[in-house]
Structure 1
Amino acid sequence: MKTIVLIDGGHLRVLARQAGLIYDADLIEAVGLGCVDRAEALIRIQYYDCVPFNGVVRLPVTGVERDFAGTDRWLYDLSERDYMMVRLGTLKFRGFKPRALPLAPGLTDDDFRPDFEQRGLDLRIGLDIADIVSQRSAERLIWVTGDPGLAPAFEHARQRGLQVIVVTFPGQRVPPELLWAADVNRRMEWPAN
């Protein structure tokens, strides 16, 4: 069965961090390949993420400048691997949010965390699903995501005859909207890291 694996990078990163794993191109590739079983013919793995934020911002309490300097080299490494297609959105800095509420007197910069927002990925995913469906380039889609906002894309693919599998890892809580919109919940173990 012709199969495309779609990976929500932000979601996978959070799960890997919770599992104590190193998040890199090797892990992403291993997860993508591990999602496919013997009865499935892998067409490609589509990985969705954002380039790390690079810029200087002022900390919320002291006003001291902080330089965010993430590297995107690992994304290039990933894109050069077999069967891998990297689709990028943008990451916007939206300010700082308190780590805990209510706010206590005597706040420091450490009481706040940077707030980033991914932009453009849901649109890319939706367009990719529409293309896959219209071109009949796959019979089965395997999703690694926890975003309930993607349920309509699952439903669109299913209504057009594709099978949709949502992948879950140990300890992961999956929004019911994703399970309702998928044909199968494939439970997986983490690959050896």
Structure 2
Amino acid sequence: MSMAILVDGGYYRKRVASVYGVETPRETADRLYNYCFRHLKEKIDGKDVRNDLYRIFYYDCPPIDKIVYHPGTHKQVDFSRTDTKQWAEEFYDVLAHKRKVALRFGEINESSIHFQLKDRSLRKVLDGKLAVSDVQETDFTLSMQQKGVDMRIGLDIASLSFKKQVNSIVLIAGDSDFVPAAKLARREGIDFVLDSLGRPIKENLSLHIDGLRTCDSQFSSRPDKKVK
């Protein structure tokens, strides 16, 4: 049996940072690669099954390199010189050189890039617990919108299914945008498994997948922890 593993990169990196903390680009890339191979071994109806890897598809957006105004510091932040950009580029480079890995990049909607108050800070301001004059740089988070990532995931699921290139697909993701593609794959006879990396999913999603599987108990033991 042949298996394709599709990874929502933004979701994966946030989840790993939440559970394992700060890692080097190589450590995170190696962790993902080794984790994907754990999906190849599974137990079905009490029998051990070994799948052959067709390919690992990794979806993400390249790091931004634009200058963005920060309302908290009243300064311009040049993201082309940030450690975050350097980390991401090294991570992609390590991952791209691994066998049977394909990188698929979407785009960032540049007009959507801005700093905004974090939800908890905004609530404090609205409740009168935090004065506007006391808002700090750490009360802000960078907000942006991705374009094309979900579309590329959906197109690859459809292509793999229609061409009968694999028997099963594992999608490492955390939201329900994949449901139409999952339904299509299942109609084509593909075994479709979701890996939410230990995060709970909506109950009705079980109607559209063939299984929910996380291969690392560390993720399952900390299902709700978020990156601050």
Whether contact under 8 Å (2:69, 2:115) holds in the other structure is no
Q: Distance in 2 between matches of 1:67 and 1:176?
A: 42
Gaps (5+ residues) in structure 2?
42-48, 219-228
Ranges of 4+ aligned residues in structure 1 off by more than 4 Å: none
Q: Which residue of 2 aligns with 1:136?
A: 164
Q: Which residue of 2 aligns with 1:95?
A: 114
Q: Distance in 1 between matches of 2:217 and 2:211?
A: 19
Q: Distance in 1 between matches of 2:196 and 2:154?
A: 21
For the pair shown, which has the larger CA radius of gyration, 1 or 2?
Answer: 2
Q: Distance in 2 between matches of 1:175 and 1:94?
A: 29
SS at match of 2:216: coil
Using structure 2 for the length normalisation, give the TM-score: 0.76
Alignment of 1:98-177 (within 5 A): 98-99=117-118, 100-102=121-123, 103=125, 104-105=130-131, 106=133, 107-170=135-198, 172-177=199-204
Distance change in 2, residues 1:44/1:162 (3 Å): same
Number of aligned residue pairs: give it. 190
SS at match of 1:85: strand
Q: Residue 31 in 1 paired to residue 58 in 2?
A: no
Using structure 1 for the length normalisation, give the TM-score: 0.89
Q: Which protein has the bigger helix share?
A: 2
Q: Which residue of 2 aligns with 1:81?
A: 98
Amino acid at match of 2:40: V
1:52 equivalent among 52, 63, 66: 63
Distance change in 2, residues 1:160/1:131 (3 Å): same
Gaps (5+ residues) in structure 1?
none
Q: Distance in 2 between matches of 1:9 and 1:162?
A: 23
SS at match of 1:76: helix
Cα displacement (A) at 1:94: 2.4
Q: Which residue of 2 aligns with 1:43?
A: 54
